[in-house]
Structure 1
Amino acid sequence: MKDFLLIFRSPEQARPTASPEEMQANLKRWMDWFGSIAAQNKLADRGNRLAHEGKVVRPNQVITDGPYTEIKESIGGYIGVKAESLDEAAAMASTCPILLEGGNVEVREIAI
């Protein structure tokens, strides 16, 4: 098996204020999704959520607000999974709850 990183991206405008009930339902979708991957013994790293704010450091001592404000998309978090192939990892990502919120999942093999 190979290791893959699933990177969760969402558009900046995809952060509406949710009611407590909606937040609980969304959390349940995520926990169920994580659980389904863990049940297959394919969850390599539970990852973490990331804060919305950040900085981007570029050459020549240029530091700007970020991340990637020019494309209006932010990385919200990541997890590590185990899969036989990139296609299998992408299939896992295809059921990610972020897709219901207008976001996307970048799937990358971890090159060792």
Structure 2
Amino acid sequence: MKEFVLIFRLKDISDFRTTPEQMQQRMNWLEGIAAQNKLADKGRTLLPFDGSAKTVKSNKEVIDGVYTGSKEFVSGYMVVKTETIDQAVEIARANPIFEQVGGNIEIREVLKRD
């Protein structure tokens, strides 16, 4: 099996806050992936920029905050195990976040070194 990281991006900080019902829907989705033995790493939620983030640019300049090339921010990640990227896409498509607040999920294969 291959591993794919799912990178969660939100458009607005208000989307970061969830109701208990929304959180339960997300946990049910995660538990469903784990029940299929397709969860490699449940990942973590990343705190929104609150003054504690820094970015080191290619010229080694350090700026406060996150990369500003995008209006979205990364809110978290997880890693799933599937045979193909299309299977990872199907897992991502079932995430209740799309009905709840929108955003998007970037899917990338994790390089394995033997």
TM-score, structure 1 normalization: 0.87
Q: Distance in 2 between matches of 1:43 and 1:104?
A: 19
C-alpha distance in 2 between matches for 1:17 and 1:61: 30
Structure 1 residue 35 corresponds to structure 2 residue 34: no
Matched residue type, 1:73: E
Query: Residues 12-51 of structure 1: matches in 2 within 5 Å?
Result: 12=12, 15=14, 23-51=19-47
Map 1:11-90 onto structure 2 (within 5 A): 11-12=11-12, 15=14, 23-53=19-49, 54-90=53-89
Runs of 5+ consecutive residues of structure 1 not aligned to the other structure = none
Is the contact made by 2:16 and 2:75 (CA closer than 8 Å) also made in structure 1?
Answer: no
Residues 18-56 of structure 1, C-alpha deviations (whole Å, 9 max, x = no match): 6xxx61011101100101100101001010000112221
The 1:59/1:8 distance shift into structure 2, 3 A limit, reads same
* 1:68–1:93 distance in 2 versus 1, CA, 3 Å: same
Q: Calculate the aligned-residue CA RMSD, in Å.
A: 1.8
2:8 corresponds in structure 1 to 8
User: What does the per-residue CA deviation read over 1:53-83, in whole Å, with 9 as the maximum and x for residues that have no partner?
Assistant: 2221102331123323342110000011000
Higher helix share: 1
Stretches of 4+ aligned residues off by more than 4 angstroms: none
CA distance 1:38–1:16, change in 2 (3 Å) = closer
**Percent identity of paired positions between Structure 1 and Structure 2:** 42
Equivalent residues, number = 108
Cα 1:61–1:68 shift into 2, 3 Å:
closer
